[in-house]
Every structure is written in structure tokens, then in C-alpha cells.
Chain A
């Protein structure tokens, strides 16, 4: 973004600014808008599922459409809602927390977002083009190979494109944290949200290739006549399950670790205490990531891997409860004896602790391979993973949004609406999912379109659906809150919560170059140290000088658009050869954009020292 572009008025210029931006703060806005859109979409799909199950033998939607609903609900929520919302928070906050002016590769940051967005749109185009994917978000073979519509093709190409975007984002964050920490910001002085961003990015780097490989194999089986998963031709359909879960289990830690990071920022700030057991928290995070790669087969206990494999994976899975428990106790100990402020962000953090602990407890139950034969593919599993993903990740996202909203948008979200929203969501969430544990134990299988009357499932399902409505109302209140805040919200000072970390040392929203002078970090919670020393602001680590900034570029958008077009080509070339044209055109756009990027030198621009001096502090 150049200064001239920022000063242009009008909607066109505004739109162009966002399409070409490489500023991490604006890309964060884009991620939040994109992720928020898909969150609403996934929420609507959840509503349809629950309305279908409100009464026995209901026929609100047809069986086929129901399959598409739960498939797209899972896929959308995991890949297109939760992850982008977290990436949005990371983008907005992590560079500020480590005292950097931007991420290491601003261009790639933008490319990562647009790939995600176009992948998500491609996936959702399937609704209008003959049917969405319908074999579950796990797309188990051979079901997914046999699925007759183009739905699974959209799943494969959509996830491939958005997955590439996520991978790019992960690598970008890794390099940023390794190379761009402010002077004095050692690893063990990094705020915990930056730490979890770092560990999460490592997980993305190592886990996503397994998904990429799996998706390519599935793509070749469906489109080009290979037989990786076809048992009749010597393939093996269990390989898909392995590849998917080698990715899929780290994926759930990719979701939860950033949420842990958010709580580790929110709880100390509103308890007015430094995080209890910081070092233990860091190592617990790393340990969870490490163990996360050795537990994937606990999703496959009933496949028939044999008692030895099942036992190994069961024990490894139970071991994860240890670092997670360390974290829970550290948060409790942080609050112990603190001067606690209860506002919306803190409420979400407080609601998270019991909710997530219930999810963790059922997790240990599921980890027992023997007992799992009873729970497998029942609503007990559904209840478990919604307790950890909604009670952990979604609560974390809401806490983070409330906490950093003033930092990102320069307005404080309305507290009253925030608290009403929290309580409605909290009650609705437990109403929806707690009863599902018992539905599962009574034998209700997941992914079933209807259930029969008088089997003891009627009341439970009815209660569950009512809870969903409360969550929907709460989400609507949050949207109203956003609009209300944008119109009438109070404008905060730079540091409305008496914060501890570097992001609160600069104005809200931050200037586009973040730090006029890079700050000197003297310890953990650097801003708090300066406050306690009576100084109240950071000591600069460098004299005021020119700041080097990257230029904006439309190329990431063009590249992603190219892959999007080529995606359609790949999907439909099985129907008619003419669709190969779309592949050539799409890849032409994408590769052409890459060529331009490679050949055209773009050294960015400098903000001169005089210009920085003119800006008020």
C-alpha cells in the first residue's frame, strides 16, 4: 500500500486497496471477513442438520441433501471458517507482538489469503453445480471414489487450492518469527500467542503435505483412472484414512493451539498477573505438537489395525492429556489471587475452561481403544469433538476478537451485547452438545438422516436443536455488535486494557508501518516491564530512520483466480474435452502471473524520516 493509494477516496479505490494489499493488518481483515462469511455458511448448514433432526422421521431435507449438508458443514467449519479466522488473528497480532513491521513475505501473505478464498469459493460453487460433496468431511474411500456427482471433485480441487494457501501462510509465519523478532525479543520472551502461532505453523508445514498427497491420489483415482484406493485393482482404501488422519490429527492441534495462545494472552491481562508457568506453557505447547503426530490412528481403532497398533496409539493419545492438563492448571493458577476484570473477552476465556475440560475428558475416554468400539461413529464422538472445537476453538476466536477488536479496528466492541451474546452462546452450546453424549451412548449413530420414534432419542434431539437456535441468536447478536460498534462504538486509546505485550505499545489501529522505531525488549511482557518501571512506553532500539515498505500487488489475486479457473477445468474435463481449455487458460493466468512476479523487479518504497517525524505520536 502506498500513501497515495490510501488517500484516494471512493469505493473503487477502497476495493482496489484491499485487492492489492500486502499489509498484514489488512490481510487480517480479509481473513476475518472471509472466515466470518464461511462461518455463517457453515452455521446455516448446521441449522439445517439440526432442524432435520428436531423430530423423529422428519423430512425437512432429503437424504441426499442431508449428506451434502453434514459433509459441507464439517469441511467448511474446519478448513474455511476456524482456520482462516485464526490465521486472521495471527496476521493481525503476531507481527505486532514480536515487534516487526510486517511479516517476512508480505506478497506471499496476500497470495495465501487469495488461494484460501478462491479455494473456498470453488468448493461452495458445487452447491449450484449439480451437488456438493456428500461422503463426509473425511471423504473416506471407497465411498468418495464412487460418489457419482462432481461434488467430491470440487472437494478435492477446492481443498487443494485453499490448502496451498494455508501452507504458504504457515511458512510465512515461521520465517517471520525466526528472523524478524525485535531487538531483545528472545524466544523465551515471546508472548504465548506468538509461540502458539509458531508451533501451529510448524504443524501446518509438516501436516499439510500428507493432505496434499492424499488429495492428489484421490484426484487421480477419480479423474485419470488410477487405482490407488481400488481394492479390486490391487489398491488399498485404508491408505486414504491413514493419509487423511496423519494430516487430520495435527490439524485439530493447528486449530486448538492458537486458541490456547489467545487465552494465554487474555487471562493474564485481565487478571493483572503474568502468565503462571510461562516456560511450562511453552514446552507443553511443543509437546502437544510433537505427540500430535503420533496419535492419528486413534481415529481408526475399529478399522482392524490389530491390538498392538491400537494399544500404542491409545497410550500415545492419553499422554496428550498431560501437557493439556498442565495448561489448564496454569491458566487457573494465573487467575489465582489476581485482580480479575470480567468483560466479554474474559467471559469467553472463563467459559472455555470447563467446556474444554469436558471435551478433554471424553477425549481420554475415546482414547481407550477397547471402549472406543462402543463409541465409534456415534453421537458421543460428535459431542466430544464439538466440545473441543466449539468449546475450545470457537470460544478462543470470540475471546480473541473481543480482546483485539480495538487493536484491529480502532473501536471497542459493546460490552453489554458481548456479554448477552456470550451467555446465550454458552447456554445454547451446552444444551446442544451435552445431551449428545447420552444420545450417542444410547446408540444413535452419527451422520444418520432420520431416527425412529420412541427409541429414547426424541427428547434429546429436540433439546439439542433448541440449543442450536440459541447459538444462532448469539452469533446474530455478535454481528449486530459489529455493526453497532462500527457506527457508534467508543474509540479507545492505544492501550484500553492496560495490556502487557508489545501490540499495546502503539496506537489502535496501528499505523501502516507499525513501529516508527523498533522497540527494545527487556523481558517477558515488555510493555508491562516499562509500565512497572514508571516509564509507560517502549524504549526505541534504533534511531529514527527511513522505513522500507513493500509495494502492493494484484498478482496474488490473479494467480489465485488462475488456479480457480483451472480447478473448474480439471473437474469438468472428465465430461468433455473442451474443458481442457479452462485448464490451459487458468494455468496460463497463474503461471503468467508468476513469470511477471519473477521477472519484474519490485524493491518496494521508503517512508522517509521526515515523513515519520511529521506524524504525531
Chain B
């Protein structure tokens, strides 16, 4: 998508912003990881509270991964997005059913 031979100032500006976003996401992800590890390591929270919190942190990280590092936020990624959500749907359905009917 990026034309390397023809970098005008607009493109440069865009690349710069992109880089900024990448770095912010990267820092946030490292931050989340540190938070997650410290919650577990320090026993600071009750298990009932810690487990959902860890799951939420993990979900956000997956979102960052998909949308920023794997560029799903950019144009032309509608199709992969649809397929990924389709797969997530099928997997969640499986897990939900097994939890609800088999193990509950």
C-alpha cells in the first residue's frame, strides 16, 4: 500500500502519526502486562475480582494486537475482520455451549 519511491510530505506526516500510535500502543501493552503480573504476584486482589480483570486486560491487548499491530483498523481489512469475528463467534458459541450444558 505504501509507495516507497514517492514519499511526499503528506505521506511522511501519516507515517509519523502511525509510528506514534504504534509506540503508544506498545507502551500501553507493556503497561498492561506489568499490571497483570503485579496483580498476581502481590496477591493484592481477591480472586473473584482479579480473574475478570485479567481477562479484560487480555481482551484489550488482543484488540491492540489486531487493530494496531496487525493493521485491522486500516482500510481494506474489512474482509479479514469479518472472518476473524466469524471465527470468534463460532469459538465462543462452542465454549458457551460446553460451559452451559456440559459443565454447569
Query: Does any Cβ of A come within 8 Å of B97's Cβ?
Result: yes
Interface string of A431-458 (1 = CB under 8 A from B): 0000000000000000000000000000
- B63 interface residue per 8 A CB criterion: no
Instruction: Enumerate chain A residues within 8 angstroms of B103, measured Cβ to Cβ.
Output: 236
Query: Residue A297 contacts which of B79, B83, B89, B97 (CB distance < 8 angstroms)?
Result: B97
Q: How far is the CA of A236 from the CA of B98 in the complex (A)?
A: 11
Is A206 within 8 A of B101, CB to CB? no
63-92 of chain B: CB within 8 A of chain A: 79, 83, 86-87, 89-90
Chain B nearest CB from A439 CB (Å) reads 32
Is A328 in the interface zone, CB < 8 Å from B?
A: no
Complex Cα–Cα for A243 and B91 (A): 11
Given contacts A206-B90, A297-B97, contact A242 B102 (CB under 8 A): yes
Q: Taking the complex as formed, is B38 at the interface, i.e. its CB lies under 8 A from any CB of chain A?
A: no
Contacts of B93 in A (CB 8 A): 246, 293-294
- Is the CB–CB distance between B94 and A246 below 8 Å? yes
A242 and B87: CB pair below 8 A?
no
Tell me the interface secondary structure of chain B in the complex.
helix
- Distance in angstroms between the alpha carbons of A205 and B102 in the assembled complex: 25
Minimal Cβ-Cβ distance residue in B for A247: B94
Which chain B residues border A210 with CB–CB below 8 Å? Answer: 94
* CB of B81 to closest CB in A, whole Å: 13
Are A309 and B101 in contact, CB atoms less than 8 angstroms apart?
yes
Q: Does A544 contact B (CB under 8 A)?
A: no
Say whether A580 faces chain B, with CB atoms less than 8 Å apart.
Answer: no
**In the complex, chain A residues whose CB is within 8 Å of the CB of B102:** 236, 238-239, 242
Contact A202/B83 with A293-B90, A293-B93, A294-B93 known, Cβ cut-off 8 Å: yes
1/0 per residue A294-332: CB within 8 Å of B? 100100000001100100000000000000000000000
Interface flag for A178 (CB, 8 Å): yes
Contacts of A205 in B (CB 8 A): 83, 87
Interface size on A, residues (CB 8 A): 19
Within 8 A of B (CB), among A13-53: none
Shortest CB distance B64–A (Å): 25
Cα–Cα, bound, A305→B89 (Å): 22
What residue of chain B has the Cβ atom nearest to residue A202's Cβ?
A: B86
Minimum CB–CB distance from B76 to chain A (whole Å) comes to: 11
Shortest CB distance A248–B (Å): 13
Contact indicator per residue, chain A 225-246, by CB within 8 Å of chain B (1) or not (0): 0000000000010110011001
Which chain B residue has the least Cβ–Cβ distance from A246? B94
Query: Chain A residue with minimal CB distance to B82?
Result: A202
**Docked-complex contact A242 and B86, CB < 8 angstroms:** no
- A289, closest chain B residue (CB): B86
Quick one: CB contact mask for A154-181 with B, threshold 8 Å, 1 for yes?
Answer: 0000000000000000000010001000
Q: Which of B26-83 contact A (CB under 8 A)?
A: 79, 83
A242 & B90 in contact (Cβ 8 Å cutoff): no
Complex: how many Å from CA A206 to CA B85? Answer: 11
The closest CB in chain A to the CB of B97 belongs to A242
Residue of B nearest to A203 (CB): B90
- Contact A305 to B94, CB < 8 A, known contacts A178-B79, A205-B87: no
B94 CB contacts on chain A under 8 angstroms: 210, 242-243, 246
Q: Name B79's closest neighbour in chain A (CB-CB).
A: A178
Complex-state Cα separation, A207 to B90, whole angstroms: 8
Tell me, in angstroms, the Cα distance from A178 to B89 when the chains sit together: 21
Q: How far is the CA of A593 from the CA of B87 in the complex (A)?
A: 30
Cα distance A207–B91 in the bound complex, in angstroms = 10
Chain A residues with Cβ below 8 Å from B97 are 242, 246, 297
Q: Which residue of A lies closest to B103 (CB)?
A: A236
- Cβ distance B86 to chain A, nearest Cβ, rounded Å: 6
Q: Give complex CA distance A230, B16 in Å.
A: 58
Complex CA distance for A294 and B94, rounded to whole angstroms: 9
Report Cα–Cα, A279/B40, bound state, in Å. Answer: 53
| Docked CA distance A178–B98 (Å) | 33
User: Quick check: B86 and A297 within 8 Å, CB to CB?
Assistant: no
**For residue B87, which residue of chain A has the nearest CB?**
A206
Chain A residue numbers with a CB within 8 Å of B98 are 239, 242
Residues on B with C-beta less than 8 A from A236 are 102-103
Closest to B80 in A: A178
* Distance in Å: Cβ of A289 to nearest Cβ of chain B: 9
- B44 to nearest A CB, angstroms? 33
A301 CB to nearest B CB, Å? 12
Given A178-B79, A210-B94, A246-B94, A297 and B101 touching (CB < 8 A)?
yes
Query: How far, in Å, is A200 (CB) from chain B's closest CB?
Result: 14
Beyond A210-B94, A305-B101, A309-B101, 19 extra complex contacts between A and B, CB < 8 Å: A178-B79, A205-B87, A206-B90, A236-B102, A238-B102, A239-B98, A239-B102, A242-B94, A242-B97, A242-B98, A242-B101, A242-B102, A243-B94, A246-B93, A246-B97, A293-B89, A293-B93, A294-B93, A306-B101
Instruction: Report the 4 A-B pairs with minimum CB-CB distance, sorted nearest first.
Output: A206-B90, A305-B101, A246-B94, A309-B101
Q: List 12 A-B contacts (CB under 8 A).
A: A205-B87, A207-B90, A210-B94, A236-B102, A239-B98, A239-B102, A242-B94, A242-B98, A242-B102, A293-B89, A293-B93, A305-B101
Q: Which residues of B contact A (CB under 8 A)?
A: 79, 83, 86-87, 89-90, 93-94, 97-98, 100-103
